[in-house]
Structure 1
Amino acid sequence: MIDLLPSPHGIAAAVALVVAGAIQGSTGFGFSMLAAPMLAVIDPAFVPGPMLAMAVAVSAGGAVREWSDVNRQDLAFSLTGRLLAAGAAAFCVSLLSPGAFAATFGFGVLFAVVLSLLGLRIETTRRSLFLAGALSGFMGTLTSIGAPPMAMVYQNAGGARMRATLNAFFVVGGIISIAALAAAGSFRFSDLLLAGTMLPFAFLGFLLSGWGRRIVDKGRVKVVVLVVSTASAFALLLRSLA
């Protein structure tokens, strides 16, 4: 486990969480997609448990802030899919070697980036929400990165609906994934302590996200997420080869 601040690794982890918290507060997604690959390079102990715990806390802040814009029907279908997939994914964690775990991260993030760059358009329907929720649950439980499938479904929705509903989804979905990991023996009290130690940095970023909400509809935040996620993905792939 990394040394706490002010070690170089601790500072790097803190900066990653501040940026990720600002992105999450601005868009309703991207916290794990941005921070998890970077923190996994710093120390694998951050994933998946501690990252999921921090994502739940930051997403809860976003859901409360825009609660009136949460779409309950969207939540029902997407969370049903996530619940069905999370249990199966939890029992796959022990099947991955550290190298394969890093490679799964890298290829998963690159795949999401490619889909975004290709401009894949998915309508927000009951079927797409269910399938995206299931894929998000599987990816999120295994790698802490469950945002890409849900973000793709909401890429053409309004900003407030997207932010509020995705934040609510990640709160409930993250709790489901943590429970599944705990049942499989892959989430321990030490994970909760690590999450609690680093959580203030994530919330600092969230509190600074007001500017991001004002520009998110112009598409600028998406560019930042894609660039940083691509760099993180390549770093993870290099780590898996090592």
Structure 2
Amino acid sequence: MDWPVVLGLGAALVAGAFVQSSIGFGLAVVAAPFVVVLAPELMPGALLVASFSLPVAQLLLAPVDISWRPLGWALVARLVLTPVGVVAVAFLSVRSLSVAVAVLILVTVAASLTTVEIRMTSRNAAIAGAVAGVSGTATSIGGPFLALVLQHERPERVRSTLAAFFVAGAVMAIGSLSVAGEFTRAQLLAGLVWLPFVAIGYAVAAPLRRHLRTEHLRRGVLSFSALAGASILLRALVF
């Protein structure tokens, strides 16, 4: 590994952890484009390792308010589709995966901005979990889909539910990638090196979390999801 590059990517992890600590997701969305360009061999395992620590901290240190029914449906669907994500890692290019994830994010945001309301139902949660089973395993990006389903909930509930979803999802993804031989020692080491950077982002976001309201959260989720989808698509098509 090129250790100066790995350490330099820590700045992206700080920014991503700050965003995720505020609106409930975003670590992988912020960091993945930089990792793909500068150290593609670390995808997706290193980000999965780094992103595992943040939701654990959120569940242990922040107020917990989990919406259990949607979470259960999302996790079952993610478990079923995780092997598809492993196959995608083995046979598809990073560019192909990135384009697919970006398009899915943008379509989901567009649907949410129309008269078609995306509400927190068991069906929508299962669909979000199924998509995350593929995209979260293949690219480490799975949060925007369930976040959009939860967008009308209280900020504390959104963050707690997503944190529980990320913890279980990361375990599924890392376990499946390991069995398939797609999770390397280099990815593990890089992910561990990034943990302090994640902690910094979490700590810096603490003052903002206290003042975030439901409508502000919804706007943040939609705006950041759209920005993330557009940036991922642009990076995949240009670079």
Q: Name the TM tier (shorter chain).
A: 0.7 to 0.9
Aligned length: 235
Alignment correspondent of 1:20: 16
Change beyond 3 A, Cα 1:111–1:38: farther
Distance in 2, matches of 1:51 and 1:62, equals 17
Q: Deviations over 1:50-97 (max 9, x none)?
A: 111111111111122235312333322211111111022212211113
TM-score by length of 1: 0.86
Change beyond 3 A, Cα 1:228–1:78: closer
- Aligned AA (2:42): F
2:194 partner SS? helix
For residues 134-213 of structure 1, the aligned pairs below 5 Å read 134-213=130-209
Distance in 2, matches of 1:204 and 1:224, equals 21
Change beyond 3 A, Cα 1:178–1:230: same
- Residue 118 of structure 1, CA deviation: 4.9
Q: Which ranges of structure 1 fall in alignment gaps of 5 or more residues?
A: none
- Residue 37 of structure 1, CA deviation: 2.0
For residues 97-136 of structure 1, the aligned pairs below 5 Å read 97-112=93-108, 114-115=110-111, 118=114, 121-136=117-132
Distance in 1, matches of 2:120 and 2:105, equals 22
User: 2:51 matched to 1:55?
Assistant: yes
For the aligned residue pairs, the C-alpha RMSD in angstroms reads: 2.4
Alignment correspondent of 1:4: 3
- Aligned AA (1:53): V
Q: Find 1:29's aligned residue among 25, 29, 35.
A: 25
- Residue 112 of structure 1, CA deviation: 4.9
Q: Find 1:215's aligned residue among 212, 215, 218.
A: 212
TM-score by length of 2: 0.87
Q: Percent identity?
A: 30
Distance in 1, matches of 2:197 and 2:147, equals 24
- Aligned AA (1:125): T
CA contact (8 A) 1:23 1:221 kept: no
For residues 58-73 of structure 1, the aligned pairs below 5 Å read 58-66=54-62, 68-73=64-69
Change beyond 3 A, Cα 1:228–1:152: closer
